[in-house]
Amino acid sequence: MINLAIFGTGRIGTVHALNAAANPEANVKYLVDPVRSHHMTELAKKTAALEADVDTVFADEDVHGIVIASSTDSHADLLMRAARAGKAVFCEKPISLDFATTISTVESLEQSDIRCMMGFQRRYDPDFRTLKERLSNGTAGHIEQILMISRDPFPPPIGYIKRSGGMFLDQSIHDLDMARYLLGEEIKTVYAVGNCLENAAIGDAGDIDTAMITLTSISGRFVQISNSRRSAFGLEQRVEVLCSKEVLSIGNRGHSLLTIADHQGLTSSQPENHFIDRFAWSYRAEMQAFIELIETGTPALTNIRDGLEAQRLAVAALESMHTGNIVELER
């Protein structure tokens, strides 16, 4: 039985805790959150976990792995403590809001040789997995262009916006990771534009709510990413990959497959209204992958280096938006 400690009992921490508790190979031994709440107590009951502090977790040799889903400002320190304690770690993005800290943390973790994976759940989505397989085995031919659209159904609370690190680091980073994953190579240039077009309060908080990012890979292939904090009809999560033999696409996943036809036309279900619902299966598969990483050393689809490289692109996008220039990445 793999004993886990979950850091953070907010929205995504709750998802990971419940998925781990439902896995027959895992036991959620501890929940850790500096803010004790009724929700945390209820989650502890549901998962049969103990409410604990940081020192208790790292002093317990029976804890095999930790899940970091706490506030971003705690990630780097917890990663370093995991490295010193020799515990496997699953970490949500980003590693740190400070890129220099991200670099030094990744270098330290790679030297420590602990098992580590990052929380880019789209890589575990079955549709994205099938798409990636057709790209990797040559069935689709050579990639020429990738188009990605990621739009949330509604903006997050302003309090979250203020501590999120900005749209590129919070939302776009998933698309940036997927670009590297699908291409199978690194990015050479980044050009980004962004503005606050939908919610003035987001602009007042120093962020944007609408963005477009253009990437050029080292072999000259293109990726276009469209991001928004709002979609009028639900979560929009689409991708299209233009290849020499095939055009591959993944559309929105609706609540229902039912389509109704009448004299007014065709009506279909709205898309899932939240990323947690859209990727529910992926989050379960992600947790299973972490458990297998601990048990057998089976490599996960994401590692700490993926977290660094996706953040490098997010930082470059922010620089491009502010300067109006194409940012060329040095390797």
pLDDT for 11 equals 93
Strand partners, 224: 147, 214
Q: What is the pLDDT of residues 200-239, one digit of tens each?
A: 999 999 999 999 999 999 999 999 999 999 998 889 999 9
What is the C-alpha separation between 247 and 241, in angstroms, rounded? Answer: 6
pLDDT for 121 equals 97
pTM of the predicted protein model = 0.94
> Are 39 and 59 within 8 A, CB to CB?
no
What is the C-alpha separation between 90 and 287, in angstroms, rounded? Answer: 9
Band of pLDDT at residue 58, cut at 50, 70 and 90: very high
> What H or E segment, with its residue span, contains residue 105?
helix 99-112
Query: How large is the average pLDDT for residues 297-310?
Result: 97
pLDDT for 32 equals 98
Q: Which two tokens stand for residue 179?
A: 């670009």
Decide if pLDDT at 175 tops 80. yes
pLDDT for 35 equals 85
pLDDT for 113 equals 86
Q: What is the pLDDT of residues 257-280, one digit of tens each?
A: 788 888 989 888 888 878 899 999
Strand partners, 241: 146, 248
Q: What is the pLDDT of residues 105-160, one digit of tens each?
A: 999 999 998 999 999 999 999 999 999 999 999 999 999 999 999 999 999 999 99
Decide if pLDDT at 331 tops 80. no
Q: What is the DSSP letter of 157?
A: P
pLDDT for 272 equals 81
What is the C-alpha separation between 129 and 121, in angstroms, rounded? Answer: 11
CA angle centred on 156, ends 166 and 101, rounded to 5°: 30
Q: What is the pLDDT of residues 64-111, one digit of tens each?
A: 999 999 999 999 999 999 999 999 999 999 999 999 999 999 999 999
Cβ-based neighbours of 192, under 8 Å, separated by 6 or more: 168, 211, 212, 213, 214, 316, 317, 318, 320, 321
Find tokens 């990015």 and name the residue. Answer: 187
What is the C-alpha separation between 226 and 285, in angstroms, rounded? Answer: 27
Residues of the chain with pLDDT > 90, as a percent, come to: 89
Strand ranges (DSSP E) for the chain? 2-7, 26-32, 50-52, 65-68, 88-91, 116-118, 143-151, 187-195, 210-217, 222-228, 236-243, 247-250, 259-262, 265-268, 327-328
Peptide bond into 157 cis (omega under 30): no
Maximum Cα–Cα distance across the chain = 67
What is the C-alpha separation between 4 and 321, in angstroms, rounded? Answer: 40
